[in-house]
Amino acid sequence: MRVEPTKRMDFRLGGGRTTVVFQREFRIPELEPPAAGLLVVFDRNTRGLFGAGVRPAVVVPRGEAAKKWKHALALNREAVERGLTRTGAMVGVGGGAVCDLTAFAASLYMRGCRLALAPTTLLAMVDAAIGGKTGINYLGYKNVIGTFYPAEVVWIGISALESLPEEEYRSGLAEVIKTALLGDPALYETLTRRREAVLGRDADLLLEIVRSCVAVKGRIVEEDFRESGRRAHLNLGHTFAHALESVTTLGKRGFTAGLRGRRPGAGVGRWSHGEAVAWGIARAMDLGVRLGVTDAAYAEEVDRLLDLYGFRRSVRRSSAEGLVDAMGKDKKRQGDRLRFVLQRRLGETVVEEVDDAAVRALLEEAGVS
Ligand SMILES: NC(=O)c1ccc[n+]([C@@H]2O[C@H](COP(=O)([O-])OP(=O)(O)OC[C@H]3O[C@@H](n4cnc5c(N)ncnc54)[C@H](O)[C@@H]3O)[C@@H](O)[C@H]2O)c1
């Protein structure tokens, strides 16, 4: 007998409630009771892919270029001009950038109008659309302005992933691996044993994977909505990753993780966010082993899993000094020590403060000179 999978999950987030609906087919989300009016937000890609017949719609630029004050204001202007009331809703259809922008704009409009999200990238399905963090970039700093404002409904239609470019898909996969390590042994097992189906985007399997990730993130965020404790675990691998992104060429994103005015590092190549996260997870495992926190056999297993999905685990010709410097400017510094999310083993996560010197030594050992 085939067990009918869960079609929806409810989370209590900061006094609000988010219902996440899981379906094979993509659809623009509906609210219950129906919204008094809708403002549907797409980016240029998602408008073409999913916007047929949707009126009225607002189209913002693709990627990080959408996460600007002027676009948040433009959405509010549209809402005013169309007479949207607080019982009307903004609906974001796209990747993490559209979700972050729409949620931010909705949190401001009339002190907060209704909000629904339809994430169309793997990363947005498993991460950005879940948990209520909204944000725009400002003065060269990523997500420096934002609010906590969970969506009422998150509509996950797996078929949206069929058109996703490989690089974006892999970016999401790195976050899926991270989520498995944080708290889902069954998902970890699936990733280990079903690589071909995962890479082949088998729809049933993806539905199961996304559902598992949403369950893990939703539980963590329910417990710690405003990130005063456990929610920080979701940053596993990200201190290293943001530093790497800030010193390497970011291509289309062209944006650094909160580091103003830095030039992309020479010779280190182009790293997508997902690749940087995978590299960061590998470094967090190394650091944990070095500090006697992480079980060495577990760290090796994680390394094998990252290898299985073809993620690069080493970076050549970058500067350990530059990376440590970049980490110092990231949000995760406490005094003169850096904070890292580390793991003892699968599902056992801790936050440790570590001396710069130890991090530099680790990076040098990992081939970064
Ligand atoms: N709020 C949070 O908790 C949270 C968590 C993680 C990441 N984020 C944010 O998410 C953003 C990254 O999100 P992302 O990785 O989804 O990138 P993105 O939103 O920039 O989308 C990547 C690209 O894929 C295109 N695209 C989207 N869906 C598509 C589809 N189905 N088919 C083809 N192309 C499609 C987009 O147009 C864009 O060009 C960052 O700004 C990050 O800060 C937020």
For range 114-140, the mean pLDDT: 96
- pLDDT tens for 178-231 read 999 999 999 999 999 999 999 999 999 999 999 999 999 999 999 999 999 999
Beta strands at 16-23 and 8-13: parallel, antiparallel or unpaired: antiparallel
166 alpha carbon to ligand 1 midpoint, in Å? Answer: 13
Residue to mutate, 50, 104, 123, ligand 1, most ligand atoms under 8 Å from C-beta = 123
- pLDDT tens for 349-362 read 999 999 988 898 88
With pLDDT > 70 as the criterion, what percentage of the chain qualifies?
Answer: 89
Check whether 86 has a pLDDT greater than 70. yes
121 alpha carbon to ligand 1 midpoint, in Å? Answer: 6
* Chain center to CA of 57: 25
Which residue has the CA at smallest separation from atom 44 of ligand 1?
Answer: 128
Cα–Cα distance between 260 and 279 in angstroms, integer?
23
pTM, to two decimals = 0.92
- The pLDDT value recorded for residue 261 is 39
Where does the pLDDT of residue 333 fall: very low under 50, low under 70, confident under 90, or very high at 90 and above?
Answer: low
Looking at the chain, how many residues does it have? Answer: 369
Pocket of ligand 1, beta carbon within 6 A:
43, 45-46, 49, 62-64, 67, 94-98, 100, 120-121, 123-124, 127-128, 131, 133, 143, 160, 163-164, 168, 171
Query: Cβ atoms within 10 A of the Cβ of 312, count?
Result: 15
- pLDDT tens for 236-272 read 999 999 888 888 744 444 444 443 434 433 334 578 8
Among 100, 359, 350, residue whose Cα is nearest residue 244 = 359
Check whether 323 has a pLDDT greater than 80. yes
Which residue has the CA at smallest separation from atom 9 of ligand 1?
Answer: 96
Query: Which of helix, strand or coil describes residue 20?
Result: strand
- pLDDT tens for 17-35 read 999 999 999 999 889 899 9
Which atom of ligand 1 sits closest to the CA of residue 146?
1
More confident: 312 or 59: 59
Which atom of ligand 1 sits closest to the CA of residue 252?
39
Question: In a 10 Å sphere around its CB, with 0-12 CB exposed, 13-18 middle and 19+ buried, how is residue 239 labelled?
Answer: buried
User: Burial letters for 243-258: b for 16+ Cβ neighbours within 10 Å, e otherwise?
Assistant: bbbbbbbbeebebbbb
